[in-house]
Chains A and B, each alone.
Chain A
């Protein structure tokens, strides 16, 4: 009781720290920024496009806040103006900020617009090197390439083309073009009602469909200052850990396909089917759950479902070590995986990669531990951390994460509070003033982030910042120096989700 009261009165020390940083930034960048504030747990501010390189330089050089990572650059068009969202983060201080700036030239004049955009990106890349990945246009057309790999047939490698320069069998330069995944999707990002958006948003990460929904609902709850019942949070944690298991299993299946281990593949597919069946039992669908609601969940779990889940988890716990030993006790496979696609901690951080790919290189960064995400602080689990950052480590860390997820679900079923879930809110009569919100969540690929603007019950603008684009940029750097036969293996080992790579085609 006392603890709940305390939590209600005082915000966590983490938020106080971020608030302090926000005040510092306001002091440093007094004349250059407007509207600096906290959105959820991130810092958000507007700036003019002329001031942007100076602001970035100031932020980069300041030793106090240590913002050294450019996570993503997203652009969207509103009222014929292109608006940039620059997402910076600091792993050592564990916070992130979003800078909003609008380009000067109108969006329908494509040539001057592209020139201005590329000029700006070049300016940014003088401060943050990884910005060069976001250059648009003729990056791949006018140059000569030795090898061109069109989109692969495997799920995950099918949304981009790889352009390679090679000397004998060593790759010297790699370029990845995501031209094929720039698709029209204006009817999901412009003026959608909340119910419609929740039922459609899981397409952005279809390997683990629960996380985009959860991210959006958490953001709205933060905005409406809703308190969610403990049982609801427990159910959300169970279903998100189940999705994590199924996503990691499909990743391992992908690796087994590339490695040509057919027997292991069929063993994994059985277990993946088991995990998907548990997800279907809870949510009603295998891929697109449409399960999380604002302030609750669609359907309560009864005792029978909980019993089924704990039985399924026990079975997975028995079977996954067998799969692991089949795959990793094989010296042929481990020799192939070892030392291929190696990336050290600094290189991975520089690309802005998060999630298991970052943890495999030795950085302990997990939003489940580092932030107050759901109720993860009430269960005990370890954050799996690797050391070498090669393909073997990346495969190995997925197995470790599956065991930790099983451990979390086992604890959650034991601790499940017996509580009545209240009726859901009627969102059709919601009358909310104009607001912006940012929210992030730890999805199996990394930190999944959503930015949206909302008025009444209509989402005016939605921007999805998936972690897989950073993995693509990492692939560009680690493909250089590796051998041509390992391309498929390295790309598969990064666990790229095609849904997150998709970008909006402006009309």
Chain B
């Protein structure tokens, strides 16, 4: 099943922040992420990959968990950007991955502030096991 889904991955980008700008610029003709059958969708129910990025508070965390639970198996989770991989830029004590470590299992970490579009495509290639 996991192999079948990999032919057409649907991505859902949660949260708000600077990484979103870079992730969506992979849609452009220069990078063209659709070559690998990757689409960006607006509903978590349709998606296979959840991209966590940006800044969160308690309300945001709850919404993120809702999104994660409403996704169907098989699912992958990508943590993009420094704010998620390590800790928030704005607050030294706020570590999202520690707070949600019991609920969400993260498959790939993409560091960078924000990660370049190439770095994000590289992560997708790692999921698809091309590279």
Contacts and interface: CB of A to CB of B under 8 A. Distances in A.
Let me know if chains A and B touch directly in the complex, using CB atoms closer than 8 Å: yes
Interface of A: 150-151, 153, 155, 158-159, 179-188, 200, 203, 206-207, 250, 265-266, 269-270, 272-273, 276, 286-288, 498-499, 502, 505
Contact of A188 (B15, B27, B89): B89
A266 B29 contact: yes
Interface stretch (B1-9, B55-63, B69-77, B120-128): B55-63
B99 to A, nearest CB: 12
A266 B33 CA distance: 13
A291 to B, nearest CB: 15
Given A180-B60, A207-B21, A287 B114 contact: yes
B92 interface: yes
Interface string B13-24: 101111011101
19 contacts: A180-B59, A181-B16, A183-B88, A184-B93, A184-B94, A185-B90, A203-B89, A266-B29, A269-B28, A273-B25, A273-B28, A273-B30, A286-B22, A287-B21, A287-B114, A288-B114, A499-B18, A502-B55, A505-B57
Contact of A498 (B17, B30, B63, B93): B17
Contacts of B55: 181, 183, 502
Contacts of A266: 28-29
A155 B21 contact: yes
Given A266-B28, A273-B25, A158 B15 contact: yes
A270 B27 CA distance: 10
Nearest to B60: A180
Contact of B29 (A179, A186, A270, A286): A270
Nearest to B56: A183
B60 to A, nearest CB: 5
Given A269-B27, A272-B25, A206 B18 contact: yes
A269 B90 contact: no
Contacts of B16: 151, 155, 158-159, 180-181, 498
Interface string B85-119: 00011111110000000000000000001101000
Contacts of B59: 179-180
A184 B88 contact: yes
> Most chain-A CB neighbours within 10 Å: which of B17, B29, B63, B93?
B17
Contacts of B20: 155, 158
A287 B22 contact: yes
Contacts, number: 89
A153 B30 contact: no
B28 A188 contact: no
10 closest A-B pairs by beta carbon, nearest first, are A185-B90, A269-B28, A206-B18, A158-B16, A184-B91, A498-B16, A187-B92, A159-B16, A183-B57, A183-B55
Given A203-B90, A499-B18, A184 B57 contact: yes
Given A188-B91, A269-B28, A270-B29, 9 more contacts: A153-B42, A158-B16, A181-B57, A183-B88, A186-B90, A250-B21, A265-B27, A273-B28, A505-B57
A362 B14 CA distance: 37
B57 to A, nearest CB: 5
A273 B16 CA distance: 21
Nearest to A250: B21
A286 B116 contact: yes
B24 A155 contact: yes
A266 B20 CA distance: 17
Given A155-B21, A155-B24, A270-B30, A180 B91 contact: no
B18 A203 contact: yes
Contact of B90 (A151, A184, A288): A184
A439 B66 CA distance: 41
B89 A200 contact: yes
Contacts of A184: 57, 88, 90-91, 93-94
A186 to B, nearest CB: 6
Contact of B21 (A159, A206, A273): A206
A247 to B, nearest CB: 10
Interface string B38-79: 000010000000000001110110010000000000000000
B15 A150 contact: no
A265 B42 CA distance: 18
A272 B89 CA distance: 26
A269 B25 contact: yes
Contacts of B60: 180, 183
A498 B90 CA distance: 15
A184 B114 CA distance: 19
A288 B92 CA distance: 19
B65 to A, nearest CB: 14
